[in-house]
Structure 1
Amino acid sequence: MEGSIFYWICWSFWVYLTFFLKKQNPYRLKLAAAILLVIILSPTHYKLGNIEIYASGVFILSLTFIMISKEKLRAIIYYFICSYIMGIAYVTFHLFEIFDPIWIIIKKEWMMGILLGYLAIILQKTLRGRLLIVINGTMQGEFLYAFILNKYHFPYSIGALAYLDVCTLISFLLVGWSFFENAGAIFQNHFNFTEKAKQKSS
């Protein structure tokens, strides 16, 4: 069912941010509000010519542009290069799916999530950067893919639940990868803290 991955992951993130993350975290409320808005906007759509566009996709694309615009010029250029690469990869996957679907050996969402997630890890070092290029690049890819299909009179909805499934799955995989990347440092800090506590108590 389209949208099931999106709703499960988004609601899980929202619950974590709202009830479990420390209130001192500066990103807590902003992220929770953004996720809630994406969920609320997900059914809303409008038509631009022959192309159907979902408001949630436009919303997250706008957010990424705002966040990228706050970076330094060199970083902005690199973000857009990475987003372009991500967008081309996204469109290429979809086109291969149409013309040669036999190579899709596992469920499409998972295959795309793993491939694009891996690409994001290669292109960016931080979780924030990876999420930005994934969302920005794939949404731009949505527009390009819709434009290509529209030339051949195939209907396609930009930013629909099928897209949100893929986008949230990639984000989930990247968050998981980031946790494992930082797990060593987290455990080391915890170990050092417990060692110091033992020394003080003795």
Structure 2
Amino acid sequence: MDGIVFYWVMWGIWVWTTFIMGYRPLRFWASFACLIAIIFSGAFIHVNMIKINAAYILFFAVGLGLLRRSSYLKLGYYIIVHLFVMMLYIVYTKYTLYEPAILLKINQWLFFAAIFLVVQLLVKPFKIRLAVIIIGFCQAEWVMSIVLSPKDFIIGDYPFLDRLAFLTFLTISWHFIHRISHQLYQTLNRSSIGRIEK
């Protein structure tokens, strides 16, 4: 069922930020963005023969907002990385259209997990990783919609939201795993130092 991954991830993030996450400035905006994305996911803006999902516009704006404080030099690098993500998404989508037998060999979620790993290797800050994935996927969706259905197309439908939510979930989960492992390493390091001093 299209959209199920998107709703599970958005509600999960909302529950985490609202009830579990400690007080931070990010808490309000993250929970607010999740609720707005859920509300907007069923709404479409019609421009001539084009249907644009309102949640797609929200995600694109969030992605651009995450990049707003980057320096020009870093911004140039992030643009190159996001173009690489965009091209991977387009190549996979086009190839599966003309060679659908590849779906029997490569699961699409494994492919998007590979994109996630590429972003983790090329970009370090957590917010920038999210921004690169969001902007890269949004622009790829826009390009693919125009190329495939230039007369009547939908930008940001539920399969797109599922893929974007899946990558967002992987990125957030990886960030928390990295933070927990770092804190655990520091705790163990302090305890071992304390034993040596005794």
- Is this a same-fold pair by TM over 0.5? yes
Q: How does 1:6-155 map to 2 (within 5 A)?
A: 6-23=6-23, 25-104=24-103, 105-108=105-108, 110-151=109-150, 155=152
Shift of 1:195: 7.2
Cα distance change of structure 1 residues 28 and 195 upon mapping to structure 2, 3 Å threshold: farther
**Residue 73 of structure 1: CA displacement?**
1.0
One-letter amino acid of the counterpart of residue 63, structure 1: V
Report the CA distance shift for 1:26/1:195 in structure 2 as closer, same or farther (over 3 A). farther
Tell me if structure 2 keeps the 8 A contact 1:90–1:141.
Answer: yes
Question: Percent identity, aligned pairs only?
Answer: 23
Any gaps of 5 or more consecutive residues in structure 2?
A: none
Matched residue SS, 2:46: strand
Q: Which shows bigger deviation, 11-20 or 174-183?
A: 174-183
Provide the secondary structure at the position in 1 that maps to 2:67.
helix
Change (3 A) 1:189 1:65: same
CA distance, structure 1, for counterparts of residue 101 and residue 121 of structure 2: 27
TM-score (norm 2): 0.88
CA distance in 1: counterparts of 2:153 and 2:190, whole angstroms: 54
Residues 146, 125 of structure 1: CA spacing in aligned structure 2 closer, same or farther, 3 A cutoff? same
SS of alignment partner, residue 22 of structure 2: coil
- Take 1:168 and 1:73, find their aligned partners in 2: how far apart are those partners? 28
Residue 53 of structure 1: SS of its match in structure 2? strand
Q: Any idea what SS the aligned residue of 1:56 has?
A: helix
* Equivalent residue for 2:156, pick from 139, 155, 159: 159
Aligned partner letter, 1:11:
W
Deviation digits for residues 168-191 of structure 1, max 9, x if unmatched? 101111222233334431212333
**TM-score scaled to structure 1, two decimals?**
0.87
Q: Could you say if the C-alpha distance between residues 194 and 41 of structure 1 is closer, same or farther in structure 2, counting changes exceeding 3 Å?
A: farther
3-state SS in 1 of match to 2:45: strand
SS in 2 for 1:157: strand
CA RMSD, 1 decimal: 2.3
Contact 1:113 1:173 in 2 (8 A): no
Q: Which residue of 1 aligns with 2:5?
A: 5
Quote the Cα distance in structure 2 between the aligned partners of 1:77 and 1:196. Answer: 43
**What is the distance in 2 between the residues matched to 1:132 and 1:190?**
31
Q: CA deviation at 1:106?
A: 4.8
- The answer as to whether partners of 2:66 and 2:127 remain within 8 angstroms in 1 is no
